[in-house]
Structure 1
Amino acid sequence: MSITIRPMREADREAVTALLLQLAAWEAGLSSTRASGRETALALLESDSAQAQGQGGAQFVAERDSACLGYLALRLGRTGPYVHDELRDHVLIENIVVSEQERGTGIGQMLLAQAERFAREHGCRALQLGALTGNDPALRAYRRAGFEPVSYEMIKRLD
């Protein structure tokens, strides 16, 4: 059967939590700054839901045969005046994850295409997202979808 991208429903919460649990574990393996575990996954979903509701965003799932295989959370954003006017209003991808068993099958590209449709529908001419250093599979997927790096986010731990 084919993959369907649709808005997330309340009935998807447990499946999406499982996907976010995979994402949190993956990112914790890449960076010591990242938390993992079920509480982290639940907090991510709560944050995504609040931001989607409060900032004109949305949450989507990729589904095949009633199984939730991917998740996308995004919201509207506005960058400061240091960015060209036509790029200031944008859609920020908060979270995107594809089930470990389905990675590399094109579902991530379908979710990114949904983000682009959402942005165009809302009059935005830019998509933004962040990726952890060392997350080479995600970086390759984002570049394949047309994203390009524009800045680095850095951290210094203080005692």
Structure 2
Amino acid sequence: MVQIEMEKSVFSGRIRPVRPDDLQVVLEMVSKLADFHGDVATVTADELARDILGPHPWVRILLAEEAGKVVGYAALCPLAQMQFGARGMDMHHLYVAKSARGTGVGKALIKASEALARAEGCRYLMVGTHPNNIVAQGIYLAMGFDRLDQAGPRFRIKLAAA
């Protein structure tokens, strides 16, 4: 495993929840993150609005903002371990704009995600990385995350729209 020395945080902006007027910038960042992973984002503005806005959002979005400009986001989805009565959150996406990488934005988003999960009564925060993303793995380990190996195969079935 590569040792990661944590950067000294120079991020002086703020982390805040998503607002309706942020929809376009979030859509653009989702597309950039998909592109980074070799995917093509197909989510529409309407689908994104359905999932991140409203009284009970399916996905919680935290935005990093510096000097009035959004420079990153974290997307959080609920999890549960019902047998233990434990709520959790999955940090499904973590994205930082190229211009803001290495400035502590990612670390600030992770810390804010931890705080949101705690405020929602969660006992744990999960995140996954691509197996080859050694840098991200090192950062998560340096921030106190434990490495979890896969418990076993998972399965899915596609469902037709109702």
With the length of structure 2 as denominator, give the TM-score of the two structures: 0.73
Distance 1:95 1:43 in 2: 19
Instruction: Tell me whether 1:20 sits opposite 2:18 in the alignment.
Output: no
Q: 2:40 is matched by which residue type in structure 1?
A: S
Separation (CA, whole Å) in 2 of partners of 1:98 and 1:22? 10
Q: 3-state DSSP class of the match of 1:125?
A: strand
Q: Equivalences for 1:10-89 in 2 at 5 Å?
A: 10-28=20-38, 35-37=39-41, 39-40=42-43, 45=48, 48-49=51-52, 53-55=56-58, 58-79=60-81, 81=83, 85=84, 88-89=86-87
In the alignment, structure 1 residue 7 sits paired with structure 2 residue 17: yes
TM normalised by structure 1 equals 0.75
Q: Which residue of 1 aligns with 2:3?
A: none
The question of whether the paired residues in 2 share the 8 Å contact of 1:20 and 1:45 is answered with no
Question: 1: distance between equivalents of 2:46 and 2:133?
Answer: 22
Distance in 1 separating the partners of 2:36 and 2:60 = 23
> Residues 133, 53 of structure 1: CA spacing in aligned structure 2 closer, same or farther, 3 A cutoff?
farther
Amino acid at match of 1:49: I
**Residues 5 and 111 in structure 1, CA contact (< 8 A), matched pair in contact too:** yes
3-state secondary structure, aligned to 1:2: coil
Separation of aligned partners in 1, 2:101 and 2:36: 13
Report how many aligned residue pairs link the two structures.
144
Contact 1:22–1:100 (CA<8 Å) still a contact in 2? no
2:107 maps to which of 103, 106, 109 = 109
Change (3 A) 1:64 1:138: same
Q: Alignment identity in percent?
A: 26
Instruction: Give the whole-Å Cα distance in 2 for the aligned partners of 1:154 and 1:43.
Output: 33
Letter paired with 1:79: Q
- Give RMSD over aligned pairs: 3.0
Which amino acid is the alignment partner of residue 18 of structure 1? E
Q: Which of the pair has more CA radius of gyration? A: 2
Partners of 1:24 and 1:40 within 8 A in 2: no
For residues 145 and 41 of structure 1, the distance between their equivalents in structure 2, rounded to whole angstroms, comes to: 34
Shift of 1:118: 0.9
Mind listing any 5+ residue stretches in structure 1 that lack a counterpart? 29-34
Structure 2: segments with no counterpart, 5+ residues: 1-10, 155-162
